């Protein structure tokens, strides 16, 4: 808990309640990937058994990531906790996605990215006027916006470099809002091109 800065008083259930949302009202859960810090909270213990935390929901993840997480390498074995996702498959609520890029539903697109781990997916939400891009672990913090800044957890850092380059180019050209979910300071940023590469233009929603 100390290493990862986990606050046991802050839970997904409490956060949803504060937002006025009941677990049974959620019908779709999009996993970016199945690392424990992203898939944790998908299940809960009920009568001594692990069951889906959202009883009305289908869960979605890349087939590639499910297969990798089910049999990870020695390098990233500690990042995948099977109790977080195997029960979802056993209950028949985990949907495996094959397409490299897909229109999940109107206004929501999924993009496969493989630098951090195999079969991670980023999520793009757009209404035609504004675009929110959920980076997952492609760009975990605003400090990782410069292209060479890649975290040590990534299995394929050169792939991450290319994926970042493509995303940041579009984000800069089309004024996307990038959600950086591991950042301790901000929720999201906007970026710009400079003569020294991509940089943060604006920090949004300070923590």
Q: What is the DSSP letter of 176?
A: P
Phi, psi (degrees; rounded to nearest 5) at 141 = -140, 160
Q: How confident is the model at residue 3 (pLDDT cuts 50, 70, 90)?
A: low
End-of-domain residue from the set 48, 81, 98: 98
Give pLDDT tens digits for 164-197.
Answer: 999 999 999 999 999 999 999 999 999 999 999 9
Angle 42-177-106 from CA coordinates, rounded to 5° = 65
Q: Give the contacts of 86 (CB within 8 A, at least 6 positions apart).
A: 70
Q: E strands within the chain?
A: 28-30, 43-46, 49-52, 58-62, 94-97, 101-105, 108-113, 120-126, 131-134, 177-179, 186-194, 197-206
Domain that holds residue 155: 100-207
Give pLDDT tens digits for 120-144.
Answer: 999 999 999 999 999 999 999 999 9
Amino acid 39: pLDDT: 96
Residues 125 and 175 in one domain: yes
Residues 109 and 192 in one domain: yes
Supply the pTM of this predicted model: 0.92
Instruction: Taking the CA atoms of 109, 34, 73 and 92 in sequence, report the sign of the dihedral they define.
Output: negative
Residue 177 pairs in a beta bridge with 132
Residues 86 and 173 in one domain: no
- Spatial distance between the Cα atoms of 46 and 116, rounded to a whole number of angstroms: 33
End-of-domain residue from the set 48, 68, 98: 98
Two structure tokens written together for 167: 């995303």
In the chain, the N- to C-terminal Cα span, in Å, equals 20
Residues 130 and 92 in one domain: no
Number of domains in the chain: 2
Residues 194 and 129 in one domain: yes
Give pLDDT tens digits for 87-113.
Answer: 999 999 999 999 888 999 999 999 999
CATH no. for residue 148?
Answer: 3.60.15.10
Residues 56 and 119 in one domain: no
Cβ count near 188 (within 10 Å): 20
End-of-domain residue from the set 69, 98, 127: 98
Give pLDDT tens digits for 145-159.
Answer: 999 999 999 999 999
Amino acid 10: pLDDT: 78
- Spatial distance between the Cα atoms of 66 and 74, rounded to a whole number of angstroms: 16
């Amino acid at each position: 808990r100390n290493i990862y800065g986990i606050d046991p008083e802050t839970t997904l259930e409490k956060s949803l309640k504060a937002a006025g949302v009941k677990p049974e009202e959620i019908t779709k859960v999009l996993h970016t990937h199945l690392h424990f810090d992203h898939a944790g909270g998908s299940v809960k213990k009920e009568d001594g058994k692990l069951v889906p935390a959202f009883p009305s929901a289908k869960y979605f993840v890349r087939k590639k990531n499910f297969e990798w997480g089910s049999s990870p390498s020695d390098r990233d074995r500690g990042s995948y906790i099977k109790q977080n996702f195997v029960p979802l498959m056993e209950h028949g609520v985990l949907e495996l996605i094959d397409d490299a890029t897909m229109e999940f539903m109107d206004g929501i697109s999924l993009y496969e990215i493989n630098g951090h781990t195999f079969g991670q997916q980023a999520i793009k939400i757009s209404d035609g006027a504004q675009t929110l891009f959920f980076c997952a672990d492609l760009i975990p913090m605003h400090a990782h916006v410069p292209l060479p800044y890649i975290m040590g957890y990534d299995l394929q850092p050169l792939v991450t470099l290319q994926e970042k380059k493509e995303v940041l180019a579009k984000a800069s050209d089309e004024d996307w809002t990038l959600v950086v979910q591991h950042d301790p300071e901000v929720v999201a940023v906007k970026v710009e091109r400079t003569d020294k590469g991509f940089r943060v233009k604006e920090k949004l929603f300070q923590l």
